């Protein structure tokens, strides 16, 4: 199976297609209860959802391994705010949310110069890989929702593209580290920037990075996650899975289920589904390295929606994803439960027959 070779991209076409945005807005505005409506109402309580959210662009972002500096915190939170405000505009059609999101996008695009790390020359690579998809997803909605209804000026879009270029250059440097979440995150960043910029070369390169990383990080047979066993923590493997799922969803929105469905030698199920099942079991039962003290993150909502649509039975994933509220990863603030929430209950999902991977 190969990904689409069309020279054009579908827009909106990152995590949210136009159909997904319409479904999100419809359910968020409905008086009927739904997973999406519940997720949206919970999101409204976040500080990022406020028109008064105080964003502050910086030219230089200081980043440190294992630490969160004030400028890095602002950078990450402002990207999350731009995305949430863009979703609020889609839901409400209130131009104030559109305008505030654009202010944040334009403010950072006109100010940002680079990341600096006095303790690590490579840390900017990872931070850029984490942040580029969030910025790109916010901008994708603003630029393309409802056939460009926001009216984002072309010169501002060009300015934002230059901002993404700076992040891309750093993120791409991590593409060779396909034995960790660094490479997975780099691949996602390359795909995300490629779609937003209509850059086929960047997109294709990112897809290849993900396809190289997946069998190295999710092992055949059991779906064991190498980072889970190697690092002995429950967080970094979810960074990897979030990157894989977001990349798969983006490629799916571009017309191909390739990354959701890719199989390697001797696989009987898609490799990504194996890794998701394994992570879910560590959360539910503590199998392998015990992660029963934590939850799956919101990337799981995207995977559940896709695999249920394909009638692939993954009961551990479906059950673990039904334990809401899901865990929030600040490195991947995608609010999957808001846009992709599934109304099937964990009790219903638990009745499905067990899968072997």
Q: What is the CATH number of the domain that holds 54?
A: 1.50.10.100
Q: Which of 36-40, 252-256, 317-321, 334-338 has the highest mean pLDDT?
A: 252-256
pLDDT tens by residue, 97-109:
999 999 999 999 9
Q: How far lies 249's CA from each of 33, 133, 252, 253, 258, in Å?
A: 25, 12, 5, 6, 10
pLDDT at 88 over 70: yes
Q: Which residue has the higher pLDDT, 8 or 163?
A: 163
Mean predicted confidence (pLDDT) in 51-57: 98
pLDDT tens by residue, 232-283:
889 999 999 999 999 999 999 999 999 999 999 999 999 999 999 999 999 9
What does 271-322 look like in DSSP terms, one character per residue? HHHHHHHHHHHHHHT--SS--TTS--BTHHHHHHHHHHHTT---HHHHHHHT
Return the percentage of the chain with pLDDT > 90, whole number: 85
Given this model, what pLDDT does residue 325 score? 74
pLDDT at 30 over 80: yes
Mean predicted confidence (pLDDT) in 77-103: 98
DSSP 47: G
83 found inside a domain: yes
Lowest mean pLDDT among 211-215, 262-266, 329-333: 329-333
pLDDT at 354 over 60: no
CA dist 79 and 15 (Å) reads 15
161 found inside a domain: yes
Q: Residue 175 — φ and ψ, nearest 5°?
A: -65, -25
356 found inside a domain: no
Closest CA relative to residue 240, chosen from 213, 200, 271: 213
2 found inside a domain: no
10 found inside a domain: no
Model confidence, pTM: 0.94
Q: Domain count for the chain, please give it.
A: 1
pLDDT tens by residue, 180-210:
999 999 999 999 999 999 999 999 999 999 9
CA dist 328 and 295 (Å) reads 9
Return the percentage of the chain with pLDDT > 70, whole number: 94
Q: Cis peptide before 79, with omega less than 30 degrees from 0?
A: no
pLDDT at 285 over 70: yes
Mean predicted confidence (pLDDT) in 118-146: 97
8 found inside a domain: no
6 found inside a domain: no
Q: Find the domain containing 203 and state its range.
A: 18-350
Q: Which residue has the higher pLDDT, 85 or 66?
A: 85
Confidence of residue 6 (pLDDT cuts 50, 70, 90): low
**Mean pLDDT for the chain?**
93
Q: Residue 190 — φ and ψ, nearest 5°?
A: -65, -40
157 found inside a domain: yes
Given this model, what pLDDT does residue 329 score? 75
| Counts for the chain of helices (H) and strands (E), in that order | 16, 2
């Amino acid at each position: 199976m190969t990904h689409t070779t069309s020279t054009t991209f579908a827009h909106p076409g990152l995590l949210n297609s136009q159909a997904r945005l319409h479904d999100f807005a419809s359910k968020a505005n409905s008086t009927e209860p739904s997973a999406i409506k519940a997720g949206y109402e919970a999101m409204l309580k976040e500080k990022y959802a406020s028109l008064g959210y105080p964003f502050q662009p910086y030219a230089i972002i200081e980043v440190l391994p294992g630490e969160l500096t004030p400028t890095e915190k602002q950078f990450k939170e402002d990207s999350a705010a731009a995305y949430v405000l863009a979703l609020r505009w889609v839901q409400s059609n209130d131009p104030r949310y559109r305008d505030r999101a654009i202010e944040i996008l334009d403010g950072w695009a006109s100010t940002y110069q680079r990341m600096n790390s006095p303790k690590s020359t490579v840390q900017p690579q990872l931070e850029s890989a984490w942040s580029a998809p969030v910025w790109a997803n916010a901008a994708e909605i603003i630029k393309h929702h409802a056939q460009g209804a926001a009216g984002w000026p072309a010169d501002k879009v060009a300015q934002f593209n230059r901002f993404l270029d700076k992040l891309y250059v750093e993120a791409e440097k991590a593409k060779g580290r396909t034995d960790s979440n660094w490479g997975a995150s780099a691949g996602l960043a390359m795909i995300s920037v490629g779609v937003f910029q209509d850059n086929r070369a960047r997109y294709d390169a990112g897809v290849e990075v993900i396809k190289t990383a997946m069998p190295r990080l999710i092992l055949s047979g059991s779906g064991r996650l190498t980072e889970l066993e190697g690092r002995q923590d429950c967080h970094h493997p979810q960074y990897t899975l979030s990157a894989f799922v977001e990349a798969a969803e983006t490629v799916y929105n571009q017309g191909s289920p390739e990354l959701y469905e890719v199989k390697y030698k001797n696989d009987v199920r898609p490799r990504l589904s194996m890794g998701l099942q394994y992570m879910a079991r560590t959360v539910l039962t503590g199998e392998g390295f015990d992660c029963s003290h934590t939850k799956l993150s919101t990337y799981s909502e995207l995977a559940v929606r896709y695999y249920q649509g394909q009638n692939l039975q993954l009961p551990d994933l479906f059950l673990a994803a039904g334990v809401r509220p899901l865990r929030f990863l600040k490195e991947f603030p995608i609010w999957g439960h808001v846009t992709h929430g599934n109304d099937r209950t964990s009790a219903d999902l638990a009745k499905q027959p067990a899968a072997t991977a």
